[in-house]
Amino acid sequence: MILYPAIDILQGRAVRLLYGKRDAVTDYGDPVECARRWVDAGAKILHVVDLSGAFGEASGFDKVVERIAKLGVPVQSGGGLRSMEEIHRRFRAGADRVVLGTVCVEHPEILYEAVEKYGSRIVAGIDAKDGRLAVRGWTEIVDKDAFEFGCEAKALGVTDAVFTDVGRDGAMTGVNLADTVKMGETGLNVIASGGIRGIDDLRALRAQGVYGAILGRVIYTGMIDLAAAIEEM
């Protein structure tokens, strides 16, 4: 199972949010320094998110991606991407894989075009609360079944998806194993996100054949030792 250390960037700082709420922020400092720490711990890929963009705010995110990409490991990046030009720009900044969330729901034709052009480098970001899709920085819940959407993304040619339980993100209350496994039944390679609180969650995910897991607050607080977890997984 692949582990993806998360670096969520808001107004130029590495942060963690509680339940994705804009006003529930913990600041962890310079994002490039955070990235360097996770690379030094053995990370083989980083998950870097533009929270400012996701909330519709201006950001200098691409410049940060460029600096992180120079650390020498692949970067998977999402947040605030609403057009093909923004997707192109994220790749030009140094991202190896791009995660598309809101745009997949609101403009599926852009998802189709992106997959046509970039293939498996496009990852679906499927964010859900109580089985319904959450969009626009998780500020809106839409009347769309998350698992049905996973099937549609797979049919379009998407191979991988980040599946986040919004109701658990940043809270370290335990991963939503049942829904993560259910999302895998769509045929997507599922990267679990949200609620992971310890190594036992990772072991449970791996035992169910889950493709990957994103680690956020749990590594920033030291509840999981990233180097040891990478070695075990």
The distance from CA 102 to its chain's CA centroid, rounded to whole angstroms, is 13
Pick from 102, 199, 127: which is nearest to 111 by CA? 102
Pick from 145, 61, 135: which is nearest to 100 by CA? 135
Out of 50, 127, 165, 169, pick the active-site residue: 127
**End-to-end Cα spacing for the chain:** 6
DSSP-based three-state secondary structure for 19: coil
Catalytic (active site) residue 127: yes
- What token pair was written down for 23? 């006003």
- Classify the C-alpha dihedral 85-89-91-97 as positive or negative: negative
Out of 8, 160, 165, 169, pick the active-site residue: 8
Question: In the chain, which ranges are continuous DSSP H helix?
Answer: 31-40, 51-54, 61-69, 84-93, 102-106, 108-118, 146-156, 177-184, 199-207, 217-220, 226-232
The distance from CA 158 to its chain's CA centroid, rounded to whole angstroms, is 15
Catalytic (active site) residue 179: no
Contact (Cβ atoms closer than 8 angstroms) between residue 200 and residue 175: no
1 DSSP assignment: -
The DSSP bridge partners found for residue 215 are 5
List, by residue number, the catalytic residues.
8, 127
